[in-house]
Chains A and B, each alone.
Chain A
C-alpha cells in the first residue's frame, strides 16, 4: 500500500513539473503529430517499392512504420529516463534527500521514471489513433492482450538496460557508453523505420541479439495482423529470456552502485 502511495506521489510530482514548462509541453505534442504526418508522406513516396520486404506483415509501409514510431518512444524512455533522471536528481540534490527517507532503492529507481512511461503511453496511443483516424492506418486486427504482454516485456527488458546505465551514472556521474551503444545499435538494427529483412543475412544476426527487434516484430504482428499468443511465441520467449536475465542483474548492479557511492560519499556529487 505504501509503495503504491509512493508511486502516486512520484507521478504527481513529475506531472506538476512537466506541465510547469508549458511551451515545451505544447511542442512535444506538435512534434509527435508532425512525425506521424512526415512518415505518411514518406510512405506515399516509397509506395509499392517496400512491399516485398513487408510480406511478413501483410501491410503497407505506413502502418508498419506507425507501430515503429509509436513504440520507439518506449525504447528511448526505458533506455534514457533512468540515467537522465538520476543525473537530474543528483544535480538538484534531491536524490540524497530521497535516499534519506525510508524508501527502498528499487522503488526510488522506478519512481523517478514512472511518469516518463505514463507520458510515453499516452503519446503512443495518440500516435496510433492519429495515424488510424487521419491516414487510415489499419489497426482493426489488433490482438490487444498480446500487444500489452509484449509491451510489458519490452518495458522490463529495456528498463533493465536503462537501470544498468543509471548505475553507471551513479558512480561516474557523466558519460554513458551503455546507452550510447544500445540506442545506436537499436536505431540501426532494430527495425524501427525499415524491416530488418532489408539487411544481408549476416547483419540480421545482430538484429536478433537486440530485444527491440523481437519487441517490434511481436508488436507489429499483434497489432497489424492480430497474431495469437501461440503464433507470437518465438518473440515472447526471446523477450522473456531478456527479462529474466536483465532485470535481476540490473537491480543488483544498481544496488552495488549505490553502495559504492555511499562508500565514496558521492551520492550527492554530480
Chain B
C-alpha cells in the first residue's frame, strides 16, 4: 500500500482585495492564484521522500493539504489509505507534522509542559505520555532542557522539540517542513541518522520532507521530487533523475537547474 497517494491535485487561492480594489472595482472578482497545478504522486511506506523547490513553489501548501490543514480545490488524496476529505481525524492520528515555523509552542511553558499538553491532544494518557516524553527527549537529546521555558531555548532545541511533538502519537508518516534548518552540522548529522536508522529502518515510518538544501537531500532521501511553480517537474531516485537528463555524474543542484530551466519557467 502507498503511504500517500495524490491524484491530479490542484489548489487555487483567492487573493484578498486591497482597499483600492474594494473601492474602485467592487464587483470585479479577485483573480485566483494557482499554488498547486494538477500533480499526481505516490509515496511508498517506509520511504524517505524529499520535495525540493524554490520559495513559493507550493511545497508547504502541499504538506498542509496532506496534514488536513488546507482543503484542496481539486483532486483525490489518500494518506495511509484514508481520504483527506472524509477521514481527517483518522489521518491526523496517524501523521506527525514538523512545521518550519518556530512559533507553535507556548513560550511561557517549559518543554515538558508543552509536550504534556500536546500528548493529551494526541490521546496519550498520563503514564503513557510520561514514558513517551522520556523516550523521545532522550532520543532527541533534549532531556536536559525539559524544565526550561520554551522562550529560553535555542532554535536548535526548539526544532528538536517540534520533532519530539510530531512523534508523540507514534505516527506512520512524518511530514517535515525544513526539519534541519536551525541545526548545526553535527546536529543535522545526528538527526539524519536518527530518522534513517530508528524511524525508517526500525520503525518503518514514512518520511516526507521539504528542503532547500540540495546537499542534505542528496545523501538522505530515497526519492526526490522537484517542484516548480506548483508542478512536479521531475520525480525519482537520484540516479533516475540523472538518467532522465543523461548526465550520470551531476549533482542534484545541477539537475534541479536543468529541470527547472529547460521545461520553461
Contact = CB atoms under 8 A, between A and B. Distances in A.
A187 interface: no
Interface in A98-147: 98-104
Contacts of A12: 113, 116-117
A250 to B, nearest CB: 21
Contact of A262 (B70, B90, B92, B117): B70
A102 B89 contact: yes
B211 interface: no
Contact of A5 (B13, B97, B125): B125
A267 to B, nearest CB: 6
B103 A9 contact: no
Given A5-B120, A9-B116, A16-B113, A101 B92 contact: yes
A264 interface: yes
A181 interface: no
B42 to A, nearest CB: 23
B123 A2 contact: yes
A263 to B, nearest CB: 5
B194 interface: no
A97 B165 CA distance: 10
Nearest to A90: B103
A45 B108 CA distance: 45
Contacts of A21: 108
B32 to A, nearest CB: 11
A170 B85 CA distance: 21
Given A5-B125, A17-B109, A259-B71, A97 B104 contact: yes
A103 B89 CA distance: 7
A2 B107 CA distance: 25
A100 B117 contact: no
A96 B113 contact: no
B38 interface: no
A265 B13 contact: yes
A13 B109 contact: yes
A94 interface: yes
A2 B106 CA distance: 22
B61 interface: yes
Contacts of A92: 103-107
21 contacts: A2-B123, A5-B123, A9-B119, A16-B108, A20-B109, A91-B103, A92-B103, A92-B105, A93-B104, A96-B69, A96-B99, A97-B118, A97-B165, A98-B121, A101-B118, A101-B121, A101-B169, A102-B169, A262-B69, A265-B64, A268-B101
Top 6 nearest A-B pairs by Cβ distance? A93-B103, A9-B120, A93-B104, A101-B121, A102-B93, A102-B92
